[in-house]
Homo-oligomer: A and B are copies of this chain.
Amino acid sequence: MAKEKKLVEAITSMEEDFAQWYTDVVKKAELIDYSSVKGCMVIKPAGYAIWENIQKELDARFKAVGVENVYMPMFIPESLLEKEKDHVEGFAPEVAWVTYGGLNPLQERLCVRPTSETLFCDFYAKDIQSYRDLPKVYNQWCSVVRWEKETRPFLRSREFLWQEGHTAHATAQEAEERTELMLNEYARFCEEVLAIPVVKGRKTDKEKFAGAEATYTIEALMHDGKALQSGTSHNFGDGFAKAFGIQFTDKDNKLKYVHQTSWGVSTRMIGGIIMVHGDDSGLVLPPRIAPTQVMVIPIAQHKSGVLDKANELKNELAAKFRVKLDDSDKGPGFKFAEQEMRGIPVRIEIGPKDIEAGHAIIVRRDTREKIIADLNEISVKVAEVLDTMQKEMLERARAHREAHTFEARTYEEFKDIVANKPGFIKAMWCGDEACELKIKEDTTATSRCMPFEQEELSNVCVCCGKPAKTMVYWGKAY
Protein backbone atom coordinates (compact mmCIF):
# COMPACT_ATOMS: atom_id res chain seq x y z
CA MET A 1 0.00 0.00 0.00
CA ALA A 2 2.93 2.32 0.63
CA LYS A 3 4.00 1.73 -2.94
CA GLU A 4 0.55 2.51 -4.33
CA LYS A 5 0.45 5.75 -2.47
CA LYS A 6 3.89 6.64 -3.73
CA LEU A 7 2.80 6.13 -7.33
CA VAL A 8 -0.25 8.31 -6.96
CA GLU A 9 1.46 10.96 -4.87
CA ALA A 10 4.13 11.25 -7.49
CA ILE A 11 1.85 13.33 -9.70
CA THR A 12 1.32 16.97 -8.96
CA SER A 13 -2.31 17.94 -9.49
CA MET A 14 -3.17 19.80 -12.70
CA GLU A 15 -4.77 22.69 -10.86
CA GLU A 16 -1.81 23.15 -8.60
CA ASP A 17 0.89 23.28 -11.28
CA PHE A 18 0.01 22.26 -14.81
CA ALA A 19 3.59 22.33 -16.08
CA GLN A 20 4.77 20.08 -13.27
CA TRP A 21 1.76 17.80 -13.79
CA TYR A 22 2.79 17.45 -17.45
CA THR A 23 6.37 16.60 -16.57
CA ASP A 24 5.23 14.10 -13.95
CA VAL A 25 2.91 12.37 -16.40
CA VAL A 26 5.44 11.96 -19.21
CA LYS A 27 7.87 10.44 -16.71
CA LYS A 28 5.49 8.32 -14.60
CA ALA A 29 3.57 7.01 -17.60
CA GLU A 30 7.02 5.96 -18.88
CA LEU A 31 6.69 7.82 -22.15
CA ILE A 32 10.15 9.35 -22.08
CA ASP A 33 13.31 9.70 -20.11
CA TYR A 34 15.85 12.46 -20.18
CA SER A 35 19.15 11.64 -21.86
CA SER A 36 22.75 12.72 -21.37
CA VAL A 37 22.34 14.86 -24.47
CA LYS A 38 20.97 18.18 -23.33
CA GLY A 39 17.57 18.96 -24.84
CA CYS A 40 17.15 15.49 -26.38
CA MET A 41 14.91 12.80 -24.92
CA VAL A 42 14.75 9.04 -24.95
CA ILE A 43 11.33 7.92 -26.18
CA LYS A 44 10.52 4.77 -24.20
CA PRO A 45 8.36 1.88 -25.45
CA ALA A 46 5.07 3.30 -24.09
CA GLY A 47 5.75 6.63 -25.79
CA TYR A 48 7.15 5.24 -29.01
CA ALA A 49 4.20 2.89 -29.45
CA ILE A 50 1.89 5.93 -29.53
CA TRP A 51 4.08 7.44 -32.25
CA GLU A 52 4.01 4.15 -34.18
CA ASN A 53 0.21 4.20 -34.12
CA ILE A 54 0.15 7.82 -35.25
CA GLN A 55 2.52 6.92 -38.09
CA LYS A 56 0.56 3.87 -39.14
CA GLU A 57 -2.76 5.67 -39.20
CA LEU A 58 -1.47 8.84 -40.88
CA ASP A 59 0.67 6.98 -43.39
CA ALA A 60 -2.33 4.99 -44.61
CA ARG A 61 -4.31 8.21 -44.95
CA PHE A 62 -1.42 9.84 -46.84
CA LYS A 63 -1.13 6.92 -49.25
CA ALA A 64 -4.87 7.07 -49.90
CA VAL A 65 -4.36 10.62 -51.23
CA GLY A 66 -1.41 9.75 -53.45
CA VAL A 67 1.57 10.40 -51.17
CA GLU A 68 4.78 8.40 -51.77
CA ASN A 69 7.50 8.04 -49.16
CA VAL A 70 11.16 8.79 -49.81
CA TYR A 71 14.29 9.49 -47.77
CA MET A 72 16.56 12.49 -48.11
CA PRO A 73 19.99 12.94 -46.48
CA MET A 74 20.00 14.33 -42.94
CA PHE A 75 22.68 16.89 -43.82
CA ILE A 76 22.32 20.17 -45.71
CA PRO A 77 25.42 21.92 -47.10
CA GLU A 78 25.53 25.52 -45.90
CA SER A 79 25.38 26.87 -49.47
CA LEU A 80 22.17 24.93 -50.11
CA LEU A 81 20.50 26.20 -46.94
CA GLU A 82 21.31 29.73 -48.05
CA LYS A 83 19.58 29.56 -51.42
CA GLU A 84 16.22 30.85 -50.25
CA LYS A 85 16.62 34.12 -48.36
CA ASP A 86 13.67 33.99 -45.91
CA HIS A 87 14.23 30.34 -45.23
CA VAL A 88 17.87 30.67 -44.20
CA GLU A 89 17.06 33.67 -42.00
CA GLY A 90 14.38 31.63 -40.28
CA PHE A 91 16.47 28.56 -39.62
CA ALA A 92 20.20 29.34 -39.63
CA PRO A 93 20.26 30.67 -36.04
CA GLU A 94 18.92 27.39 -34.67
CA VAL A 95 20.69 24.58 -36.50
CA ALA A 96 23.42 22.18 -35.43
CA TRP A 97 26.56 22.34 -37.55
CA VAL A 98 28.77 19.41 -38.50
CA THR A 99 32.28 20.68 -39.11
CA TYR A 100 34.37 17.50 -38.95
CA GLY A 101 34.04 14.22 -40.85
CA GLY A 102 36.20 11.67 -39.04
CA LEU A 103 39.53 13.36 -38.29
CA ASN A 104 39.29 15.97 -41.03
CA PRO A 105 37.65 19.38 -41.06
CA LEU A 106 34.99 19.64 -43.77
CA GLN A 107 35.53 22.04 -46.65
CA GLU A 108 31.94 23.18 -46.31
CA ARG A 109 30.07 22.77 -43.08
CA LEU A 110 26.81 20.83 -43.05
CA CYS A 111 23.80 21.49 -40.91
CA VAL A 112 21.67 18.71 -39.52
CA ARG A 113 18.29 19.23 -41.23
CA PRO A 114 15.90 21.43 -39.25
CA THR A 115 13.44 20.76 -42.13
CA SER A 116 14.16 19.59 -45.66
CA GLU A 117 12.72 22.10 -48.14
CA THR A 118 16.17 22.84 -49.51
CA LEU A 119 17.03 19.16 -50.04
CA PHE A 120 13.76 18.42 -51.78
CA CYS A 121 14.16 21.51 -53.96
CA ASP A 122 17.69 20.53 -54.90
CA PHE A 123 16.41 17.08 -55.84
CA TYR A 124 13.35 18.35 -57.72
CA ALA A 125 15.51 20.75 -59.75
CA LYS A 126 17.28 17.70 -61.21
CA ASP A 127 14.37 15.29 -61.24
CA ILE A 128 11.62 17.39 -62.81
CA GLN A 129 11.86 18.21 -66.50
CA SER A 130 8.45 17.75 -68.05
CA TYR A 131 4.80 18.14 -67.08
CA ARG A 132 4.84 14.32 -67.21
CA ASP A 133 7.03 14.36 -64.08
CA LEU A 134 4.35 16.23 -62.12
CA PRO A 135 2.90 16.24 -59.59
CA LYS A 136 5.51 15.02 -57.12
CA VAL A 137 3.83 14.18 -53.85
CA TYR A 138 6.62 12.98 -51.60
CA ASN A 139 6.87 12.59 -47.85
CA GLN A 140 9.48 11.42 -45.39
CA TRP A 141 9.33 10.18 -41.81
CA CYS A 142 12.49 11.24 -40.04
CA SER A 143 13.99 13.22 -37.20
CA VAL A 144 14.98 16.86 -37.38
CA VAL A 145 17.11 19.09 -35.18
CA ARG A 146 16.54 22.64 -33.97
CA TRP A 147 18.88 24.02 -31.37
CA GLU A 148 16.24 25.25 -28.93
CA LYS A 149 17.28 26.89 -25.66
CA GLU A 150 14.25 25.90 -23.59
CA THR A 151 13.06 22.38 -24.11
CA ARG A 152 10.10 20.29 -22.93
CA PRO A 153 9.39 16.64 -23.74
CA PHE A 154 7.37 16.26 -26.96
CA LEU A 155 6.58 19.99 -27.11
CA ARG A 156 9.98 21.44 -27.85
CA SER A 157 13.14 19.40 -28.03
CA ARG A 158 16.39 19.75 -29.90
CA GLU A 159 15.67 16.63 -31.87
CA PHE A 160 12.17 15.47 -32.68
CA LEU A 161 10.44 12.96 -34.91
CA TRP A 162 8.07 14.08 -37.60
CA GLN A 163 6.90 13.65 -41.15
CA GLU A 164 7.47 16.28 -43.76
CA GLY A 165 5.60 16.22 -47.06
CA HIS A 166 7.04 18.15 -50.00
CA THR A 167 5.15 18.47 -53.24
CA ALA A 168 5.63 20.08 -56.64
CA HIS A 169 2.79 20.93 -59.01
CA ALA A 170 2.26 22.33 -62.49
CA THR A 171 -0.17 25.03 -61.38
CA ALA A 172 -0.74 27.40 -58.49
CA GLN A 173 -4.26 26.06 -58.12
CA GLU A 174 -3.11 22.47 -57.72
CA ALA A 175 -0.59 23.53 -55.06
CA GLU A 176 -3.27 25.41 -53.17
CA GLU A 177 -5.57 22.40 -53.33
CA ARG A 178 -2.85 20.11 -51.97
CA THR A 179 -2.06 22.55 -49.14
CA GLU A 180 -5.71 22.53 -48.08
CA LEU A 181 -6.16 18.80 -48.64
CA MET A 182 -3.33 17.93 -46.27
CA LEU A 183 -4.53 20.38 -43.62
CA ASN A 184 -7.93 18.72 -43.80
CA GLU A 185 -6.32 15.28 -43.47
CA TYR A 186 -4.55 16.46 -40.32
CA ALA A 187 -7.74 17.94 -38.89
CA ARG A 188 -9.74 14.80 -39.56
CA PHE A 189 -7.00 12.63 -38.06
CA CYS A 190 -6.90 14.76 -34.91
CA GLU A 191 -10.64 14.60 -34.43
CA GLU A 192 -11.29 11.02 -35.50
CA VAL A 193 -8.27 9.32 -33.99
CA LEU A 194 -6.82 11.57 -31.30
CA ALA A 195 -10.21 12.93 -30.19
CA ILE A 196 -8.76 16.43 -30.36
CA PRO A 197 -10.95 19.11 -31.99
CA VAL A 198 -8.97 21.70 -33.92
CA VAL A 199 -9.50 25.15 -35.37
CA LYS A 200 -8.39 25.35 -38.99
CA GLY A 201 -7.08 28.61 -40.27
CA ARG A 202 -4.36 30.64 -41.86
CA LYS A 203 -1.35 32.07 -40.08
CA THR A 204 -0.69 35.80 -40.23
CA ASP A 205 2.38 36.88 -42.19
CA LYS A 206 4.25 37.33 -38.94
CA GLU A 207 3.59 33.75 -37.86
CA LYS A 208 3.93 31.96 -41.20
CA PHE A 209 6.73 29.58 -42.15
CA ALA A 210 10.05 31.00 -43.34
CA GLY A 211 9.78 31.06 -47.11
CA ALA A 212 6.06 30.30 -47.42
CA GLU A 213 3.45 32.33 -49.28
CA ALA A 214 0.75 31.02 -46.96
CA THR A 215 0.79 28.78 -43.89
CA TYR A 216 -2.34 26.95 -42.77
CA THR A 217 -2.52 25.53 -39.29
CA ILE A 218 -4.60 23.41 -36.97
CA GLU A 219 -4.76 24.82 -33.46
CA ALA A 220 -5.89 22.81 -30.48
CA LEU A 221 -6.78 24.01 -26.99
CA MET A 222 -5.07 22.30 -24.08
CA HIS A 223 -6.66 21.63 -20.70
CA ASP A 224 -4.90 24.67 -19.20
CA GLY A 225 -6.33 27.00 -21.84
CA LYS A 226 -3.13 27.33 -23.86
CA ALA A 227 -3.05 26.70 -27.58
CA LEU A 228 -0.97 24.05 -29.32
CA GLN A 229 -0.11 24.44 -32.99
CA SER A 230 -0.60 20.80 -33.95
CA GLY A 231 0.18 20.65 -37.63
CA THR A 232 0.90 23.05 -40.49
CA SER A 233 0.57 23.03 -44.25
CA HIS A 234 2.43 25.58 -46.35
CA ASN A 235 1.87 26.89 -49.85
CA PHE A 236 5.21 28.09 -51.23
CA GLY A 237 3.92 29.40 -54.51
CA ASP A 238 6.90 29.48 -56.88
CA GLY A 239 9.31 31.16 -54.46
CA PHE A 240 11.47 28.12 -53.79
CA ALA A 241 11.18 27.06 -57.44
CA LYS A 242 12.71 30.37 -58.52
CA ALA A 243 15.45 30.21 -55.89
CA PHE A 244 16.35 26.63 -56.87
CA GLY A 245 15.52 26.76 -60.58
CA ILE A 246 12.84 24.07 -60.59
CA GLN A 247 11.36 24.35 -64.05
CA PHE A 248 9.42 22.07 -66.35
CA THR A 249 8.34 22.08 -69.96
CA ASP A 250 4.57 22.30 -69.97
CA LYS A 251 2.16 20.82 -72.53
CA ASP A 252 2.25 24.14 -74.40
CA ASN A 253 6.02 23.64 -74.72
CA LYS A 254 6.79 26.60 -72.45
CA LEU A 255 9.27 26.47 -69.59
CA LYS A 256 7.49 27.14 -66.28
CA TYR A 257 8.28 27.16 -62.58
CA VAL A 258 6.60 24.55 -60.38
CA HIS A 259 4.40 25.47 -57.43
CA GLN A 260 5.24 23.79 -54.16
CA THR A 261 3.83 22.86 -50.79
CA SER A 262 5.09 21.32 -47.58
CA TRP A 263 3.25 20.00 -44.54
CA GLY A 264 4.17 18.30 -41.31
CA VAL A 265 3.15 16.96 -37.96
CA SER A 266 5.44 15.73 -35.21
CA THR A 267 5.76 13.96 -31.87
CA ARG A 268 4.32 17.22 -30.53
CA MET A 269 0.96 15.56 -31.12
CA ILE A 270 1.75 13.26 -28.19
CA GLY A 271 2.10 16.35 -26.01
CA GLY A 272 -1.33 17.41 -27.26
CA ILE A 273 -2.90 14.06 -26.36
CA ILE A 274 -1.48 14.34 -22.84
CA MET A 275 -2.62 17.92 -22.28
CA VAL A 276 -6.09 17.54 -23.79
CA HIS A 277 -7.11 14.26 -22.19
CA GLY A 278 -4.94 13.67 -19.12
CA ASP A 279 -6.14 13.99 -15.52
CA ASP A 280 -4.76 13.85 -12.00
CA SER A 281 -4.32 10.08 -12.20
CA GLY A 282 -2.13 10.39 -15.28
CA LEU A 283 -2.48 9.82 -18.97
CA VAL A 284 -5.81 9.09 -20.71
CA LEU A 285 -5.37 7.68 -24.20
CA PRO A 286 -8.13 7.75 -26.81
CA PRO A 287 -8.91 4.09 -27.64
CA ARG A 288 -8.08 4.46 -31.33
CA ILE A 289 -4.49 5.53 -30.63
CA ALA A 290 -3.79 3.57 -27.42
CA PRO A 291 -1.04 0.94 -27.88
CA THR A 292 -2.83 -1.16 -25.24
CA GLN A 293 -6.59 -0.68 -25.26
CA VAL A 294 -7.56 -3.19 -22.60
CA MET A 295 -5.72 -4.32 -19.48
CA VAL A 296 -7.09 -7.44 -17.85
CA ILE A 297 -6.42 -7.38 -14.10
CA PRO A 298 -7.16 -10.54 -12.12
CA ILE A 299 -8.41 -10.15 -8.54
CA ALA A 300 -7.16 -12.66 -5.97
CA GLN A 301 -5.13 -14.28 -8.70
CA HIS A 302 -3.65 -16.83 -6.32
CA LYS A 303 -7.10 -18.46 -6.09
CA SER A 304 -7.67 -21.49 -8.23
CA GLY A 305 -8.99 -20.80 -11.73
CA VAL A 306 -8.63 -17.02 -11.66
CA LEU A 307 -5.49 -16.72 -13.76
CA ASP A 308 -6.74 -19.35 -16.20
CA LYS A 309 -9.98 -17.46 -16.71
CA ALA A 310 -8.15 -14.12 -16.99
CA ASN A 311 -5.86 -15.60 -19.61
CA GLU A 312 -8.77 -17.06 -21.51
CA LEU A 313 -10.43 -13.68 -21.48
CA LYS A 314 -7.27 -11.97 -22.71
CA ASN A 315 -6.89 -14.43 -25.57
CA GLU A 316 -10.50 -14.02 -26.59
CA LEU A 317 -10.24 -10.24 -26.62
CA ALA A 318 -6.89 -10.30 -28.46
CA ALA A 319 -8.74 -11.23 -31.66
CA LYS A 320 -10.33 -7.77 -31.75
CA PHE A 321 -8.39 -5.48 -29.43
CA ARG A 322 -4.87 -4.60 -28.32
CA VAL A 323 -5.00 -6.28 -24.95
CA LYS A 324 -2.63 -7.22 -22.14
CA LEU A 325 -2.93 -9.20 -18.93
CA ASP A 326 -1.23 -7.94 -15.78
CA ASP A 327 -0.40 -11.14 -13.91
CA SER A 328 2.59 -9.66 -12.07
CA ASP A 329 2.89 -10.16 -8.31
CA LYS A 330 1.77 -6.62 -7.47
CA GLY A 331 -1.51 -5.99 -5.65
CA PRO A 332 -4.66 -5.12 -7.64
CA GLY A 333 -4.72 -1.56 -6.28
CA PHE A 334 -1.22 -0.96 -7.54
CA LYS A 335 -2.10 -2.49 -10.90
CA PHE A 336 -5.14 -0.21 -11.18
CA ALA A 337 -3.02 2.84 -10.42
CA GLU A 338 -0.45 1.81 -13.01
CA GLN A 339 -3.05 1.14 -15.68
CA GLU A 340 -4.59 4.52 -14.96
CA MET A 341 -1.24 6.29 -14.96
CA ARG A 342 -0.49 4.81 -18.37
CA GLY A 343 -3.82 5.88 -19.76
CA ILE A 344 -4.97 2.45 -20.90
CA PRO A 345 -8.59 3.11 -21.96
CA VAL A 346 -10.28 0.26 -20.10
CA ARG A 347 -9.37 -2.32 -17.53
CA ILE A 348 -11.26 -5.50 -16.91
CA GLU A 349 -11.38 -6.72 -13.34
CA ILE A 350 -12.06 -10.39 -12.89
CA GLY A 351 -12.00 -12.30 -9.58
CA PRO A 352 -13.48 -15.47 -8.06
CA LYS A 353 -16.89 -13.90 -7.41
CA ASP A 354 -17.11 -12.52 -10.92
CA ILE A 355 -16.23 -15.87 -12.41
CA GLU A 356 -18.90 -17.50 -10.26
CA ALA A 357 -21.43 -14.92 -11.47
CA GLY A 358 -20.28 -15.37 -15.07
CA HIS A 359 -19.31 -11.74 -15.55
CA ALA A 360 -16.41 -9.30 -15.38
CA ILE A 361 -16.19 -5.60 -14.60
CA ILE A 362 -15.15 -3.15 -17.30
CA VAL A 363 -13.83 0.14 -15.92
CA ARG A 364 -13.49 3.16 -18.18
CA ARG A 365 -10.32 5.15 -17.68
CA ASP A 366 -11.87 8.53 -18.43
CA THR A 367 -15.05 8.45 -16.35
CA ARG A 368 -14.23 5.53 -13.99
CA GLU A 369 -17.64 4.18 -14.90
CA LYS A 370 -17.96 0.49 -14.00
CA ILE A 371 -19.86 -1.73 -16.39
CA ILE A 372 -20.75 -5.26 -15.41
CA ALA A 373 -20.52 -7.39 -18.53
CA ASP A 374 -21.62 -10.94 -19.08
CA LEU A 375 -18.62 -13.09 -20.02
CA ASN A 376 -20.55 -14.42 -23.01
CA GLU A 377 -20.81 -11.02 -24.60
CA ILE A 378 -17.73 -9.31 -23.23
CA SER A 379 -16.14 -8.72 -26.61
CA VAL A 380 -19.18 -6.86 -27.91
CA LYS A 381 -19.40 -4.90 -24.68
CA VAL A 382 -15.73 -3.86 -24.78
CA ALA A 383 -16.16 -2.67 -28.37
CA GLU A 384 -19.14 -0.59 -27.30
CA VAL A 385 -17.34 0.91 -24.34
CA LEU A 386 -14.27 1.81 -26.42
CA ASP A 387 -16.42 3.40 -29.13
CA THR A 388 -18.42 5.39 -26.62
CA MET A 389 -15.28 6.49 -24.83
CA GLN A 390 -13.64 7.62 -28.07
CA LYS A 391 -16.74 9.63 -28.98
CA GLU A 392 -17.20 11.16 -25.54
CA MET A 393 -13.57 12.13 -25.24
CA LEU A 394 -13.91 14.20 -28.40
CA GLU A 395 -17.18 15.70 -27.18
CA ARG A 396 -15.65 16.56 -23.83
CA ALA A 397 -12.63 18.16 -25.46
CA ARG A 398 -14.93 20.14 -27.73
CA ALA A 399 -17.10 21.27 -24.83
CA HIS A 400 -13.97 22.30 -22.93
CA ARG A 401 -12.76 24.29 -25.90
CA GLU A 402 -16.14 25.96 -26.35
CA ALA A 403 -16.29 26.86 -22.67
CA HIS A 404 -12.83 28.37 -23.02
CA THR A 405 -13.30 30.33 -26.22
CA PHE A 406 -14.09 33.97 -25.59
CA GLU A 407 -14.94 36.99 -27.70
CA ALA A 408 -13.38 40.38 -27.19
CA ARG A 409 -14.77 43.52 -28.79
CA THR A 410 -12.66 46.05 -26.94
CA TYR A 411 -9.00 46.04 -25.97
CA GLU A 412 -9.95 46.26 -22.27
CA GLU A 413 -12.08 43.16 -22.67
CA PHE A 414 -9.23 41.46 -24.52
CA LYS A 415 -6.69 42.19 -21.79
CA ASP A 416 -9.11 41.14 -19.07
CA ILE A 417 -9.74 37.81 -20.76
CA VAL A 418 -6.04 37.08 -21.28
CA ALA A 419 -5.37 37.91 -17.64
CA ASN A 420 -8.29 35.99 -16.12
CA LYS A 421 -9.73 33.42 -18.48
CA PRO A 422 -7.33 30.95 -20.04
CA GLY A 423 -8.45 29.97 -23.54
CA PHE A 424 -8.88 31.17 -27.10
CA ILE A 425 -9.93 34.74 -27.73
CA LYS A 426 -11.77 35.60 -30.90
CA ALA A 427 -11.24 39.22 -31.88
CA MET A 428 -11.17 41.38 -34.99
CA TRP A 429 -7.89 42.58 -36.48
CA CYS A 430 -6.90 45.27 -38.93
CA GLY A 431 -4.22 43.16 -40.58
CA ASP A 432 -1.38 45.33 -39.32
CA GLU A 433 1.64 43.56 -37.77
CA ALA A 434 2.04 46.49 -35.35
CA CYS A 435 -1.17 45.43 -33.58
CA GLU A 436 0.00 41.82 -33.35
CA LEU A 437 3.25 43.01 -31.78
CA LYS A 438 1.48 45.31 -29.36
CA ILE A 439 -0.94 42.60 -28.28
CA LYS A 440 1.95 40.21 -27.71
CA GLU A 441 3.86 42.79 -25.70
CA ASP A 442 0.88 43.82 -23.62
CA THR A 443 -0.57 40.36 -22.98
CA THR A 444 1.86 37.62 -24.21
CA ALA A 445 -1.01 36.32 -26.39
CA THR A 446 -0.19 35.69 -30.05
CA SER A 447 -2.31 35.32 -33.13
CA ARG A 448 -3.02 31.61 -33.52
CA CYS A 449 -4.79 31.79 -36.87
CA MET A 450 -7.29 33.53 -39.07
CA PRO A 451 -9.93 30.77 -39.00
CA PHE A 452 -11.49 29.56 -42.22
CA GLU A 453 -14.85 29.95 -40.50
CA GLN A 454 -15.00 33.69 -40.12
CA GLU A 455 -17.44 35.70 -38.00
CA GLU A 456 -17.82 39.45 -37.95
CA LEU A 457 -17.73 40.35 -34.27
CA SER A 458 -17.39 44.05 -35.02
CA ASN A 459 -16.00 46.15 -37.83
CA VAL A 460 -12.95 47.51 -36.03
CA CYS A 461 -9.60 46.09 -34.90
CA VAL A 462 -9.67 45.12 -31.24
CA CYS A 463 -6.30 46.76 -30.75
CA CYS A 464 -6.13 49.98 -32.80
CA GLY A 465 -9.77 50.61 -33.62
CA LYS A 466 -9.09 50.97 -37.35
CA PRO A 467 -11.29 49.08 -39.82
CA ALA A 468 -11.04 45.34 -39.28
CA LYS A 469 -10.09 42.94 -42.03
CA THR A 470 -10.47 39.59 -40.40
CA MET A 471 -11.30 37.70 -37.24
CA VAL A 472 -8.35 36.10 -35.50
CA TYR A 473 -8.02 33.42 -32.82
CA TRP A 474 -5.59 34.67 -30.19
CA GLY A 475 -4.10 32.84 -27.28
CA LYS A 476 -1.08 31.94 -25.23
CA ALA A 477 0.70 29.11 -26.92
CA TYR A 478 3.11 26.25 -26.31
Residues of A within 8 A of B (CB): 33, 35-37, 40-45, 48-49, 51-52, 68-77, 80, 93-103, 109-110, 112, 119, 122-123, 126-127, 138, 142-143, 145, 147, 158-159, 161
In the complex, are the beta carbons of B70 and A44 less than 8 A apart? yes
Whether B72 and A45, one on each chain, are in contact in the complex, defined by CB atoms closer than 8 angstroms, is no
With A35-B73, A69-B49, A77-B37 known to touch, is A42 a contact of B100 (CB < 8 Å)?
no
The 7 A-B pairs at the shortest CB distance, nearest first, are namely A40-B73, A97-B100, A45-B68, A101-B147, A43-B71, A102-B147, A37-B73
In the bound complex, do residue B48 and residue A69 qualify as a contact, i.e. CB atoms below 8 Å apart? yes
What residues of chain B lie closer than 8 Å to A75, measured between beta carbons?
37, 40, 96, 159
Residues of B within 8 A of A95 (CB): 102
A264–chain B nearest beta-carbon distance, Å:
17
Q: How far is the CA of A375 from the CA of B163 in the complex (A)?
A: 42
Contact yes or no, B80 A36, CB < 8 A: yes
Residues of chain B within 8 A (CB-CB) of A145 are 74
**Chain B residues positioned under 8 Å from A110 (CB to CB):** 37, 96
**A158–B74 Cα gap in the complex (Å)?**
10
> Known: A42-B123, A69-B49. Is A100-B96 also a contact (CB below 8 A)?
yes
Nearest CB of chain B from residue A328's CB, rounded to whole Å = 9
Known: A71-B161, A110-B37, A123-B33. A98 touches B97 (CB 8 A): yes
Can you report 26 residue pairs joining A to B where beta carbons are below 8 Å apart? A35-B122, A35-B123, A36-B77, A36-B119, A37-B73, A37-B76, A40-B73, A41-B73, A42-B71, A42-B72, A43-B70, A44-B70, A45-B69, A45-B70, A45-B138, A49-B68, A52-B69, A73-B159, A74-B145, A93-B102, A93-B103, A96-B98, A96-B102, A97-B98, A99-B99, A101-B158
- Nearest-CB distance from A168 to chain B (Å)? 14
Residues of B within 8 A of A44 (CB): 70
Assess the A99–B102 pair: CB atoms within 8 A.
no
The distance from the CB of A89 to the nearest CB of chain B, in whole angstroms, is 13
Find chain B residues with CB under 8 A from A70 CB: 42-45, 48
What would 9 more interface pairs be, CB under 8 Å, given A43-B70, A98-B112, A142-B143? A35-B73, A37-B76, A37-B119, A42-B123, A48-B69, A71-B143, A74-B143, A93-B103, A97-B98
Q: Which of A43, A98, A122 has the most CB of B within 10 A?
A: A98
Residues of B within 8 A of A51 (CB): 71
Assembly CA distance A35 to B70 (angstroms): 13
Say how far A135's CB is from chain B's closest CB, in angstroms. 13
Tell me if B112 and A35 are in contact (CB < 8 A): no
Pick from B35, B43, B72, B76: contact of A119, CB under 8 Å? B35
What is the CA–CA distance of A37 and B78 in the complex, to the nearest angstrom?
A: 10
- Give Cα A312–Cα B333 distance, bound, in whole angstroms: 58
A138 to B42 alpha-carbon distance, docked (Å): 12
CA–CA, A76 to B69, complex, Å?
A: 28
Q: Measured between alpha carbons, how far is A158 from B122 in the docked complex, in Å?
A: 19
CB distance from A144 to the nearest CB of B (A): 10
Residue of B nearest to A37 (CB): B73
Tell me the bound Cα distance from A35 to B71 in angstroms.
Answer: 11
In the complex, chain B residues whose CB is within 8 Å of the CB of A33: 123, 126-127
| Cβ–Cβ < 8 Å partners of A98 in chain B | 96-99, 112
Q: Hey, which chain B residues are within 8 Å of A43, CB to CB?
A: 70-71
Bound CA–CA A100/B52 (angstroms): 32
Q: Which residue of B lies closest to A99 (CB)?
A: B99
From A46, which residue of chain B is reached at the shortest CB distance? B68
Chain B residue at smallest Cβ distance from A136: B45
Closest chain B residue to A146, Cβ basis: B102
Taken together as a complex, chains A and B put the C-alpha atoms of A95 and B103 apart, in Å, by 8
> Could you tell me if A73 and B42 are in contact, using CB atoms closer than 8 angstroms?
yes
Query: Which of A52, A74, A94, A142 has the most chain B CB within a 10 Å cutoff?
Result: A74
What B residues does A69 contact at CB under 8 A? 45, 48-49, 52
Contacts known (A48-B69, A110-B37, A145-B74); A96 close to B103, Cβ less than 8 A: no
CB neighbours of A41 from chain B (8 A): 73
A209 vs chain B, min Cβ distance (A) = 19
